[in-house]
Amino acid sequence: MKTAVSLPDDVFTGAEKLAKRLKVTRSDLYARALAEYLSRHAPEDVTEALDQVCAQLGAPEESKFVSAASRRVLEQSQW
């Protein structure tokens, strides 16, 4: 999908330099950057992924406290 955005000059210049250094297109750089930003702002996805791993490993009963404590820490953390 094509879209138009406005960027501050310094951000645009930095992005241009980084795209050249990484040998990627500007569009690819912006897509990668936005995808990373979105993933960092979706802590529920991280929690869900960790829950799936624990379920596959068959976490023991005594780990319920650890799971609850970990969930509280993750919910309060900024990703």
Hey, where are the domains in the chain?
9-40, 43-76
The model's pLDDT over 51-71, given as tens digits with 9 standing for 90+, comes to 888 788 775 666 777 778 888
Distance CA 70, CA 47 (A): 9
Distance CA 27, CA 31 (A): 6
The model's pLDDT over 3-47, given as tens digits with 9 standing for 90+, comes to 899 999 999 999 999 999 999 999 999 999 999 888 877 777 777
What pLDDT shows up at residue 77? 76
Contact 15, 31 (CB under 8 A): no
